[in-house]
Amino acid sequence: MRHRAEPPPAEAELPIRFAFDGRALAARQGQSIAGALWDHGVVAWRTTRGGGRPRGAFCGMGVCFDCLVTVNGTPGQRACLIRVSEGDVVTSQEGHGRDELAI
């Protein structure tokens, strides 16, 4: 007779704390910025430079660039690819986020 082994108890992982547009939020270990924002009901965090239309994660794999955010002062970071780190400061981004690229 086979017996099913019980999995070891999961250790409670402490949440990762980060800030988004001045709000204190929490994320799970290994979670992307996009995933953490979704968990908090945030679905758009960038506006297009032509028209100011809202954007968030679209492709989810770093191809479309709709999910751009500014992370710790660096604009143009893809929220779907970057994992949240303790103490990160994430802000919404307008357009491409870099004045030197303005047309």
CATH 3.10.20.440 fits 16-97, yes or no: yes
With pLDDT > 90 as the criterion, what percentage of the chain qualifies?
Answer: 59
pLDDT tens digits for range 64-102: 889 999 999 999 999 999 999 999 999 998 866 554 444
- Rounded Cα distance between 103 and 99, Å, is 9
Checking if the pLDDT of 5 tops 60, the result is yes
Break the chain into its structural domains and give their ranges.
16-97
Checking if the pLDDT of 31 tops 50, the result is yes
- Rounded Cα distance between 90 and 94, Å, is 13
pLDDT tens digits for range 21-30: 999 999 999 9
Which letter does DSSP use for residue 64 in this model?
S
Checking if the pLDDT of 19 tops 70, the result is yes
CA–chain centroid gap for 56, Å, is 9
pLDDT number for residue 60: 85
pLDDT tens digits for range 32-69: 999 999 999 999 999 888 888 999 999 888 888 899 99
Which letter does DSSP use for residue 63 in this model?
S
